[in-house]
């Protein structure tokens, strides 16, 4: 069957083109999907990638790579704000579609080794690329890297404005949105960094990309969001909407190859020396930033909690600060008990027996990675989909809780103890283990995500 790649003789494999949005939280799931299609489906892969956050082809010898000029203004690239980058990149590609057409043509050029490209799998934010693909008759499938609930929120965006939920008013933040249970106004997809108009534009373009596509693959699984997926299938009304996550668990690839920063594997050796379930892992993803006062509170809150911790302090974690300095005296206080690194092999860290909790910013990848390993969470959110991810973590799956309001060391200390030692924590930890079993089931040989991948491979081979 399709699973062993047996339907096509090896010398005439079908090729699939993939084009991720060049941000860590979007690159990883796309590269994992590519890995699954390659290893399980026996498909050849060409990765299209931009100069901005370019991938290193030498780290993926099994894939072919084609660079695409992104035409990004230097100031937008340097600031690296995701909404601005998405709009600038699409605008530049729309202004010179010939550059995209040439890149696609070069990706499509047969090298005698394969049987021609079946389709292009694109990130939902790459409408400009999809437009060119349509012109040249290339089928596109969208990989949506967030949750099903998030996708429903995108589709509902015009309604959310018509009904006055958005743009949100301070006084209505805790008002429920009955059209999208269990979300409240504050949980809707929003950003503090870019303007609301820009965000609306990005979401309208995502919706257009989805509707123009031949189908959608999402990085979630049936048992995690059953009601959301069912509603979404009706709302999207496309030939297919496959829930094929958690993609990192389906793929045998490690993230090392697609990590934009070097992952410090020294922390795994350190974790080996720690007691089972004792360590709190702390990371706020690739984009979130805090001010220096908040950073101090996090540092001392962790130190004072008395728990072992592994903390990712990436460059720029503190706003406008290229290299972040730890507070004076901090390293002496935490000696042996705490480790600070610039970037972690996060999936391996969460799978380590020593890790008993995750303080996260609730990015979708981090959430799914934590759920996959049965690690309970403290959620400290910033923007975009993180509020709704945390809402599901706390109120639907019960595998963590939100740390709300001002960041203050005493509050942090209490939250860490609440998650790691107390009775309430015990229930949360137990539910996390139960949810991990559901992940294992969807990954079983006849599990829902395996079936979704098989369907996708069969679809590709039928083109
Ligand atoms: C962004 C948005 O913020 C997020 O809300 C959205 O869902 C996806 O795009 P990001 O903030 O980086 O992503 O968070 P997340 O989705 O959690 O992705 C981060 C990725 O980086 C994860 O796959 C994680 O494993 C990886 N990571 C993180 C590391 O490899 N090492 C680290 O030290 C921290």
pLDDT along the chain (463 residues), means of 10: 47 87 96 95 94 94 94 94 95 96 90 75 98 96 98 97 94 97 96 85 98 98 98 97 97 75 95 97 94 96 97 92 89 95 96 98 98 98 94 98 96 96 91 98 97 97 93
Q: Across the beta sheet with 309-312, what order do the strands follow? A: 338-341, 309-312, 279-283, 355-360, 377-379, 400-402
Q: What ipTM goes with this model?
A: 0.98
Do the beta carbons of residue 382 and residue 194 sit within 8 Å?
A: no
Which residue in 335, 345, 290, 291 sits closest to 309, CA to CA?
Answer: 335
pLDDT value at residue 2: 43
| Residues contacting residue 460 through CB under 8 Å, at least 6 positions apart | 14, 16, 37, 41, 43, 118, 119
Give the residue, out of 23, 25, 289, 379, with the most ligand 1 atoms within 8 A of its beta carbon, to mutate for a pocket test: 25
Question: In the structure, which protein residues have their CB atom closer than 6 angstroms to any atom of ligand 1?
Answer: 23-25, 28, 146, 255, 259, 263, 283, 285-288, 312, 343-344, 346-347, 363-366, 369, 384-386
366 CA: nearest ligand 1 atom = 17
Phi, psi of 114 (to 5 degrees): -125, 180
Do the beta carbons of residue 3 and residue 39 sit within 8 Å?
A: no
Measure 112 CA to ligand 1 centroid, in angstroms: 38
| Residue spans of beta strands (DSSP E) within 79-160 | 114-123, 140-144
Catalytic residue among 28, 70, 114, 123: 123
Give the residue, out of 220, 363, 372, with the most ligand 1 atoms within 8 A of its beta carbon, to mutate for a pocket test: 363
Burial class (CB in 10 A: 0-12, 13-18, 19+), 119: buried
| Residues contacting residue 407 through CB under 8 Å, at least 6 positions apart | 290, 294, 297, 298, 301, 380
How far apart are the C-alpha atoms of 438 and 422, rounded to whole Å? Answer: 25
Which residue in 438, 432, 433 sits closest to 394, CA to CA?
Answer: 432
Measure 314 CA to ligand 1 centroid, in angstroms: 12
The verdict on whether 322 is a catalytic residue reads no
DSSP per position, 415-450: HHHHHHTSHHHHHHHHHHHHHHHHHHHHHSTTSHHH
Count of CB atoms situated within 10 Å of the CB of 214: 14
Q: Whose CA is nearest to atom 8 of ligand 1?
A: 25
- Tallying the residues shown for the chain, one arrives at 463
The verdict on whether 60 is a catalytic residue reads no
How far apart are the C-alpha atoms of 90 and 271, rounded to whole Å? Answer: 42
């Amino acid at each position: 069957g399709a699973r062993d790649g047996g339907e096509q003789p090896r010398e005439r494999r079908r090729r699939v083109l993939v084009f991720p949005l060049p941000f860590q939280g979007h690159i990883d799931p796309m590269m994992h999907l590519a890995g699954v299609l390659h290893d399980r489906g026996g498909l050849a892969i060409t990765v299209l990638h931009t100069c901005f956050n370019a991938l290193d082809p030498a780290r993926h010898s099994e894939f072919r790579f084609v660079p695409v000029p992104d035409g990004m203004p230097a100031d937008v690239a340097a600031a690296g704000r995701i909404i601005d980058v998405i709009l600038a990149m699409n605008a530049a590609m729309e202004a010179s579609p010939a550059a995209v057409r040439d890149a696609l043509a070069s990706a499509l050029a047969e090298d005698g080794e394969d049987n021609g490209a079946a389709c292009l799998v694109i990130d939902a934010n790459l409408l400009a690329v999809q437009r060119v693909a349509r012109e040249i008759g290339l089928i596109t499938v969208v990989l949506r890297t967030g949750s099903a609930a998030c996708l429903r929120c995108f589709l509902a965006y015009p309604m959310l404005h018509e009904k006055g939920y958005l743009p949100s008013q301070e006084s209505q933040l805790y008002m429920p949105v009955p059209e999208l249970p269990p979300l409240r106004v504050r949980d809707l997809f929003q950003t503090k960094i870019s303007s609301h108009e820009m965000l609306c534009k990005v979401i309208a373009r995502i919706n257009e990309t989805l509707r123009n596509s031949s189908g959608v693959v999402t990085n979630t699984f049936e048992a995690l969001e059953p009601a959301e997926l069912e509603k979404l299938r009706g709302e999207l009304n496309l030939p297919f909407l496959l829930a094929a996550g958690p993609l990192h668990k389906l793929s045998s690839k490690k993230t090392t190859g697609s990590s934009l920063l070097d992952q410090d594997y020294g922390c795994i050796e350190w974790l080996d020396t720690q007691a089972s379930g004792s360590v709190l892992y702390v990371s706020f993803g690739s984009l979130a930033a805090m001010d220096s006062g908040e950073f101090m509170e996090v540092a001392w809150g962790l130190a004072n909690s008395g728990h072992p911790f592994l903390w990712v302090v990436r460059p720029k974690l503190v706003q406008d600060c290229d290299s972040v300095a730890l507070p004076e005296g901090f390293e002496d206080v935490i000696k042996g008990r705490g480790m600070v690194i610039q970037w972690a092999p996060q999936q391996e860290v969460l799978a380590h027996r020593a890790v008993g909790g995750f303080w996260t910013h609730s990015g979708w990848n981090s959430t799914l990675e934590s759920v996959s390993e049965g690690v309970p969470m403290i959620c400290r959110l910033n923007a975009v989909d993180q509020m709704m991810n945390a809402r599901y973590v706390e109120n639907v799956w019960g595998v963590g809780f939100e740390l709300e309001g001002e960041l203050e060391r005493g509050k942090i200390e209490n939250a860490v103890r609440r998650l790691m030692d107390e009775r309430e924590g015990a229930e949360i930890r137990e539910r996390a283990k139960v949810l991990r079993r559901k992940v294992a089931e969807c990954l079983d040989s006849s599990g829902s995500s395996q079936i979704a991948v098989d369907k996708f491979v069969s679809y590709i081979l039928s083109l």
